[in-house]
């Protein structure tokens, strides 16, 4: 097997699904004996990336500004110096920089260009860059349908669906946290004692369904259910006003004793393990829905709107949790059923991290043996 040099590029390495996927593929490349490199503006995950055997090059490829075009020449020089086999762009600004740098290199010696459509981006010439790869990876069938509908100039044969995945070792079925963690959890949130815990995880933003969740908790309390709602997720500075709106809504409904806003958590595996039911209520379809998969992987039931990537995951792994979009009656009925008759998910066999890594490396290896397009 030929040893490949693969460069992945993304805005930064701080936090998020794109960042995690980049690290996972980097780790798989190193394990397979390839050279793994990442070009980004840096961030707190660089240390982990390098500790796991990859190289990082810091370049300001993150700013949504015409000034970013100044990075095209340095990026082209890096490609000329490194001569990678594969250049994989995972976000729009670095994809534009990478593509503009790549296309001016000699066609017979430049790397193969791969893109991944991680999100259902606004449809525009700016977003179209994510369909310019020789191979365009979609992270779900929802992603593939989005590409085909909005960018018909992208040939179907160039698109390959590679679902994101979770590690059964990292999110084992039946997971239970340490006694130390549990003791601290019970100390921090005594209001959960003896209650059925319902959890909505997601950034504080209007699209994530927080108001729907608050209304659901109100309905369940009115139905005499012994429950407590957890809203988990941080609010960026520009979302502070919306966070305050949610607090006012909770107050207006008299639900302060029944809903806790606990902010950003980096221990979601543990939080999900202490949740009786988790929810995915984004009004806008998500391309994938990693937290849905993580909760199911450890055995926590999920109820979610049956659309986008979350709908695909639920249909495959936990169909009893899929609810018709915006159908509050069905959402309440399903919640009551699971509260009264718990139905934990079986161990899942789809959407595994190893499958994602194997499929992505197979794309790299197949391209590296093909003629340049």
The model's pLDDT over 10-46, given as tens digits with 9 standing for 90+, comes to: 999 987 788 989 999 999 999 999 999 999 999 999 9
Residue 371 has what pLDDT? 61
**Quick one: fold of 179-340?**
Rossmann fold (3.40.50)
Residue 39's beta-bridge partner residues? 9, 57
Helices (H) and strands (E) in the chain, counts: 13, 13
Q: CB neighbours of 160 closer than 8 A, spacing ≥ 6? A: 135, 136, 137, 138, 359, 363
Residue 1 has what pLDDT? 72
Q: What are phi and psi of 116, to 5 degrees?
A: -125, 125
Burial of 295 from C-beta contacts in 10 A (0-12 / 13-18 / 19+) = buried
Q: Please determine, for residue 373, whether its predicted confidence score (pLDDT) is greater than 70.
A: no
The CATH superfamily assigned to 5-165+353-368 is: Glycogen Phosphorylase B; (3.40.50.2000)
The model's pLDDT over 233-254, given as tens digits with 9 standing for 90+, comes to: 988 888 899 999 999 999 999 9
Q: What does the alpha-carbon distance between residue 117 and residue 22 come to, in Å, rounded to a whole number?
A: 13
200 DSSP 8-state letter: E
Instruction: Report which of 99, 150, 301, 303 is spatially closest to residue 217, judged by C-alpha positions.
Output: 303
- Region 108-129 average pLDDT: 95
- Region 321-341 average pLDDT: 97
Cα 21–Cα 206–Cα 320 angle in degrees, nearest 5: 65
Q: How far is CA 12 from the centre of its chain?
A: 15
Asked if residue 94 lies in contact with residue 62, where contact means CB atoms within 8 angstroms, the answer is: yes
Q: Strands 196-201 and 159-161, how do they pair? A: unpaired
- Region 170-189 average pLDDT: 97
Beta strands in the chain (DSSP E): 5-9, 35-40, 55-58, 86-89, 112-117, 135-138, 159-161, 196-201, 227-232, 259-263, 277-280, 302-305, 322-323
Residue 100 has what pLDDT? 97
Burial of 131 from C-beta contacts in 10 A (0-12 / 13-18 / 19+) = buried
Residue 231 has what pLDDT? 97
The structural domains of the chain, with segments of one domain joined by +, span 5-165+353-368, 179-340
The model's pLDDT over 217-234, given as tens digits with 9 standing for 90+, comes to: 999 999 999 999 999 998
Residue 14 has what pLDDT? 86
């Amino acid at each position: 097997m030929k040893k490949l040099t693969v460069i992945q590029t993304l805005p930064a390495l701080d936090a998020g699904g794109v960042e995690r996927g980049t690290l996972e593929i980097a780790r798989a490349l190193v394990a397979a004996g390839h050279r793994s490199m990442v070009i980004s503006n840096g961030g707190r995950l660089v240390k982990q990336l390098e500790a796991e055997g990859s190289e990082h090059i810091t370049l300001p490829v993150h700013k949504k500004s015409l000034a970013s075009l100044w990075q095209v020449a340095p990026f082209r020089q890096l490609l000329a110096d490194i001569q990678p086999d594969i250049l994989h762009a995972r976000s729009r600004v670095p994809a534009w920089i990478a593509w503009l740098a790549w296309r001016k290199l000699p066609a017979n010696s430049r790397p193969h260009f791969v893109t991944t459509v991680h999100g259902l981006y606004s449809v525009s010439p700016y977003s179209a860059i994510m369909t310019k790869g020789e191979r365009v990876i979609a992270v779900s069938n929802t992603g593939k349908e989005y590409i085909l509908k909005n960018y018909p100039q992208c040939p179907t044969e160039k698109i390959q669906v590679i679902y994101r995945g979770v590690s059964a070792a990292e999110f084992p079925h039946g997971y239970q946290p340490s006694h130390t963690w549990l003791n601290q959890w019970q100390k921090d949130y005594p209001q959960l004692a003896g209650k059925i815990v319902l959890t909505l995880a997601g950034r504080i933003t209007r699209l994530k369904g927080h108001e729907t969740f608050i209304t659901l908790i109100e309905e369940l309390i009115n139905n005499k259910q012994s429950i407590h709602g957890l809203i988990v997720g941080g609010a960026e500075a520009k979302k502070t006003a919306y966070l305050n709106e949610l607090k006012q809504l909770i107050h207006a409904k008299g639900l302060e004793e029944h809903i806790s806003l606990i902010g950003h958590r980096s221990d979601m595996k543990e939080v999900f393990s202490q949740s009786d039911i988790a929810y995915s209520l984004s009004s806008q379809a998500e391309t994938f829905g990693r937290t849905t998969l993580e909760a199911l992987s450890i055995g926590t039931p999920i109820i979610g709107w049956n659309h986008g990537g979350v709908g695909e995951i639920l249909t495959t792994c936990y169909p009893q949790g899929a609810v018709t979009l915006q159908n509050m009656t069905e959402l309440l009925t399903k919640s009551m059923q699971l509260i009264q008759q718990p139905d934990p998910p079986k161990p899942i066999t789809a959407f595994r991290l190893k499958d994602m890594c194997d499929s992505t490396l197979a794309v790299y290896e197949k391209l590296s043996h093909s003629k340049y397009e």
